[in-house]
Amino acid sequence: MKDEYGQLISRLPFKGRVQSKYNHPLFIQAISDCPRLLNDPGCEMLLDSRNRVGAVRLPLPDGKEAEIVIKEFRTLGVNKLKSAFLPGKAFKAWRGGNALIERDIETPFPVAYLERRKDLFLEESFFLSERVRGIEEIRSLFRELTPSELRELLVSLAKYVSLCHRKGILHRDLSDGNILVREEKEGAFRFYLIDTNRIRIKWRIGRLRGIKNLIRLGVPPDFQPFFLEQYLDPSQLKKYSWFWYKTNKMIYSGYIELKKKLRLRQLARKLKVQ
């Protein structure tokens, strides 16, 4: 895998990289103030929690506009300290998105990343990608599809994740919110991976590691054996494969429940103090 992609941007106070097709003065000037773009009334805010994500329209040299999604990574606490000696999340998202494109795995096309540092520490960072219309989080389809339709979705999803693993792509948060899907025609689905800063490139992803990577997906319990069966090659489908999946799924579910309880306790303490 290439260490770097695109062309260098050095527009004070930001540094980063941009894809060559977007590397022109009009566009670079527009993205040189991402905080302003995200605060602009014309920005469509898609997410505002730990990180901010907004969609904006930016000018192109031919008089047209590009619809761009900007993700702002907030760097606080331990993450700020780590940024002194580890790559920032915007850079990781850029690297991960380009690695997917390089391997013909679909993701919203990575446009640029920008970072502002003070001394060694990361102060602000942004990852920009093209907006893809007509897609939704896969979690909604898990709830809405009929059993026969859900089976078709799971067949396609299992093949897609298996392809990612065979190409050495390990998404460390392979959850319902990070796989976007569009139904192209009846029974045919097209998937997009997002949150690409969580992607790691591996020389080989073994069977047990691959199975464990599936546990964050909210596949309905009655359909989990079917999904695992579709993911694995028939020669690999053994009893311990299901045991490994189910055990890790239970541990992960217990961890999530514990986190929820701790959050509720913290909230209760805050309300009591107030």
Both 245 and 145 in one domain: the answer is yes
Residue 156 domain-assigned (yes or no): yes
Helix (H, G, I), strand (E, B) or coil at 215: coil
Residue 273 domain-assigned (yes or no): no
pLDDT given at position 273: 59
Residue 215 domain-assigned (yes or no): yes
Residue 91 domain-assigned (yes or no): yes
Both 114 and 155 in one domain: the answer is no
pLDDT given at position 3: 53
Both 94 and 59 in one domain: the answer is yes
Both 111 and 66 in one domain: the answer is yes
pLDDT given at position 271: 67
Which residues of the chain are under the pLDDT cut of 50?
A: 1
Q: What is the 8-class DSSP label of residue 109? A: P
Chosen domain end from 69, 104, 130: 130
Both 125 and 143 in one domain: the answer is no
Instruction: Please give the Cα distance from 142 to 174 (Å, whole number).
Output: 15
Residue 263 domain-assigned (yes or no): no
Both 161 and 210 in one domain: the answer is yes
pLDDT given at position 274: 57
Instruction: Please give the Cα distance from 218 to 153 (Å, whole number).
Output: 13
Instruction: Please give the Cα distance from 42 to 224 (Å, whole number).
Output: 42
- Strands 65-73, 110-118: pairing is unpaired
- Strands 188-193, 179-185: pairing is antiparallel
Both 161 and 232 in one domain: the answer is yes
Domain limits at 21? 7-130
Which residue in 119, 129, 120, 135 sits closest to 6, CA to CA? 129
The residue length of the chain stands at 274
Residue 1 domain-assigned (yes or no): no
Chosen domain end from 71, 102, 130: 130
Residue 174 domain-assigned (yes or no): yes
Instruction: Please give the Cα distance from 124 to 217 (Å, whole number).
Output: 31
50-97 pLDDT, tens digit per residue, is: 899 999 999 888 888 999 999 999 887 777 778 778 889 999 999 999
- 69-72: which pairs have CB atoms within 8 A and are 24 or more residues apart? 69/108, 69/128, 69/129, 69/130, 69/131, 70/31, 70/34, 70/37, 70/38, 70/126, 70/127, 70/128, 71/126, 71/127, 71/128, 71/129, 72/34, 72/35, 72/38, 72/124, 72/125, 72/126
Which residue in 248, 172, 177, 267 sits closest to 208, CA to CA? 248
Both 57 and 169 in one domain: the answer is no
Both 19 and 124 in one domain: the answer is yes
Both 142 and 222 in one domain: the answer is yes
CATH code of residue 39: 3.30.200
Which residue in 3, 11, 5 sits closest to 110, CA to CA? 5
pLDDT given at position 174: 97
Both 16 and 122 in one domain: the answer is yes
CATH code of residue 218: 1.10.510
Chosen domain end from 98, 130, 162: 130
Is residue 57 within 8 A of residue 42, CB to CB? The reply is yes
Count of domains for the chain: 2
Residue 147 domain-assigned (yes or no): yes
Both 12 and 123 in one domain: the answer is yes
Mean pLDDT of the chain: 91
